[in-house]
Amino acid sequence: MLAAAVGRPRVVRRLVRSLVTRAAGSPTYAPLPPPQKVKVALCQLHVTADKAQNLETARKAVEDAAKNGAKLVVLPEMFNCPYSNDSFPTYAEDIEAGASSSVAALSAAAAAARVTLVAGSIPERCGGKLYNTCCVFDSAGKLLAKHRKVHLFDIDIPGKITFKESLTLSPGPGPTVVDTEAGRLGIGICYDIRFPELAQIYAQRGCQVLVYPGAFNTTTGPLHWELLAKARAVDNQLFVLTCSPARNPDSSYQAWGHSTAVGPFAEILATTEHQPATVYAELDYAHIGERRTNMPLRTQKRHDLYALLDKTEP
Ligand SMILES: NC(=O)CCC(=O)C(=O)O
């Protein structure tokens, strides 16, 4: 196996790392930074068909969140357009060509408010494809990272809800870990929360917070939204944030709302109903270490029986 990898440094690195991991009997976790507290705001926004109005609603919410002391602000999935396959192509913007008015507005909002901004998601056009994309900005407005939704929302529950994002959107290439002033974040978008492997990869890469802008629906939302956020938090012993659009009776898609912050013991730190609202929570990163000491799940895993294979390891 080693011979086949020679001349391919990434493959060699991966192989060596996996050998070290196996030998040590536990995966390698990046050390957590010193304990610190971060106030977060989850902005559950009223989304309309008017992009300019949606961007102004977001800007105002970011400004207000900062005035209330938030250092990390999260916006909802598809907050600048209606959540529909008809809208995605019409509202899509080319971020990489520097032609995105939404990115310009979000960057300015983060810089003006001096916050780390996980800017929900917007439809992105790139190379003839469309993506559901989350941009993350630092407090100077710099675009730190962009996550393209990895798992597309394709479901069919007859008589309840049928939606196929794959009719218009393409899946993103993989996990997105972002080091920010507010901690190390792992980004997922909505349906991504259903896949525990993605969250495990983030935990393994030392993320302290998993952030999921999302727009669950009124069929699965009541049963699964909070359950999944708690599951990802308790499995990985870290913080999970979800942020939804508010429910809009004029919309073809009814969002569940209930933006929520969950702690590493699956405790609900803050939540809301389905109306427009901003939810605040204080994340105390010391609680991650505390819970991992209380219950050392990471070292108790039976690596002789099973393994997580991260095919995108940098
Ligand atoms: N926008 C989405 O990915 C919705 C996911 C959802 O509602 C679910 O049940 O999963």
Q: Report the residue among 87, 133, 155 best suited for mutation to probe ligand 1: largest number of ligand atoms under 8 A from its CB.
A: 155
Name the residue at shortest CA distance from atom 1 of ligand 1.
215
pLDDT for residue 314: 77
pLDDT, one tens digit per residue, over 184-233 is: 999 999 999 999 999 999 999 999 999 999 999 999 999 999 999 999 99
Asked if residue 312 is part of any domain, the answer here is no
Whether 74 is in a domain gets the answer yes
- What is the phi-psi region of residue 8: left when phi exceeds 0, alpha when psi lies from -120 to 50, beta otherwise? beta
Rounded to whole angstroms, the Cα distance separating 207 from 31 reads: 10
Catalytic residue among 51, 149, 207, 230: 149
* Mutate-to-test residue for ligand 1 from 87, 133, 191, 223, highest number of ligand atoms within 8 A of CB: 191
d(CA 150, CA 33): 28
**Is 169 close to ligand 1, i.e. is its CB under 6 Å away?**
no
Question: How confident is the model over 263-293, as pLDDT tens digits?
Answer: 999 999 999 999 999 999 999 999 999 999 9
Q: Indicate whether 118 belongs to any domain.
A: yes
Question: Is 159 a domain residue?
Answer: yes
Q: What CATH number is given to the structural domain containing 215?
A: 3.60.110.10
Burial class (CB in 10 A: 0-12, 13-18, 19+), 190: buried
Give φ, ψ of 245 to 5 degrees: -65, 155
Residue 211 near residue 183, CB atoms below 8 Å: no
Q: Look at residue 132 and tell me if it is in a domain.
A: yes
Please state, in angstroms and as integers, the Cα–Cα distance from residue 33 to each residue in 43, 62, 117, 262, following that order. Answer: 27, 26, 20, 20
What interface predicted TM-score (ipTM) does this complex get? Answer: 0.99
Digit-coded pLDDT (tens) for 143-153: 999 999 999 99
48/24 Cα distance (integer angstroms): 53
**Residue 251 Cβ contacting ligand 1 at under 6 Å:** no
Q: What would the mean pLDDT of 170-189 be, rounded to a whole number?
A: 97
217 and 161 Cβ atoms separated by less than 8 Å? yes
Query: Residue 32: pLDDT band by 50, 70, 90 thresholds?
Result: low
Report if residue 78 sits inside a domain.
Answer: yes
Residue 9 inside a domain? The answer is no
- Say which residue the tokens 């080091």 belong to: 179
> What kind and span of H or E run contains 80?
none
Of the residues 51, 77, 134, 230, only one is catalytic, namely 77
Say how many domains are in the chain.
Answer: 1
Range(s) of the domain holding residue 100: 32-297
190 belongs to the catalytic site: yes
Total-model pTM: 0.90
Q: Please, is 179 exposed, middle or buried when counting C-beta atoms within 10 Å of its C-beta (0-12, 13-18, 19+)?
A: middle
Which residues lie across from 283 on neighbouring strands? 38
- Asked if residue 121 has its Cβ within 6 Å of ligand 1, the reply is no
Instruction: Kindly state whether residue 233 falls inside one of the protein's structural domains.
Output: yes
Catalytic residue among 190, 207, 226, 230: 190
149 is catalytic: yes
